[in-house]
Amino acid sequence: MANSPIYDLFARAIIERRQIVCVYEGHPRELCPIILGHSRGEEKALTFQFGGSSNSGLPPGGQWRCLWLTKVREVTLRGGPWHSGSSHTQPQGCVEIVDLDVNPTSPYKPKRAAAAEQSRTKPREKARTSGRRKR
């Protein structure tokens, strides 16, 4: 089964270390996706929310959030500082089958390494600009 367009945007955000602005359960959110994959056959992401709002509020400094991607709307990627919280001492239980993890030393054995995906996309970006002449 193919991934949803929202899943692909979250993957791109992890690979390129870009922030996501979206709506989740009716609330605007600003977040950085940390882990992406599936739980119970559904697309899911562990994220760090640093801006916006939620049903339970958002403490100063942000908070870890587990999102079902079927509930995510209006996704936009943007540049900006990467946020991943000050520490996480508990193992994550959000994503059962990990596809991507922003952490290069992930203990979750992701199917794809974000760093490897990043190096794979960079040459294409360079190739697009390498043929241009300066005027």
- For 51-100, the pLDDT digits (tens) are 999 999 999 999 999 999 999 999 999 999 999 977 666 789 999 999 99
Q: Is 31 left (phi over 0), alpha (psi -120 to 50) or beta?
A: beta
Q: Return mean pLDDT, the chain.
A: 87
**Beta-carbon-side half-sphere exposure of residue 17 (alpha carbons within 13 Å):** 13
Contact 82, 48 (CB under 8 A): no
pLDDT for res 135: 42
Q: Residue 68 pairs with which residues in a beta bridge?
A: 44
Q: What is the pLDDT of residues 6-22, one digit of tens each?
A: 999 999 999 999 999 99
pLDDT for res 85: 79
User: Would you say residue 29 has pLDDT above 90?
Assistant: yes
Mean pLDDT score, 29-40: 97
Please state, for a pLDDT cut of 70, what percent of the chain lies above it: 84
Single pTM value for the model: 0.84
pLDDT for res 113: 80
pLDDT for res 120: 66
User: Would you say residue 126 has pLDDT above 70?
Assistant: no
Question: Is residue 105 very low, low, confident or very high in pLDDT (cuts 50, 70, 90)?
Answer: confident
Residues 13, 7: Cα–Cα separation, whole Å? 10
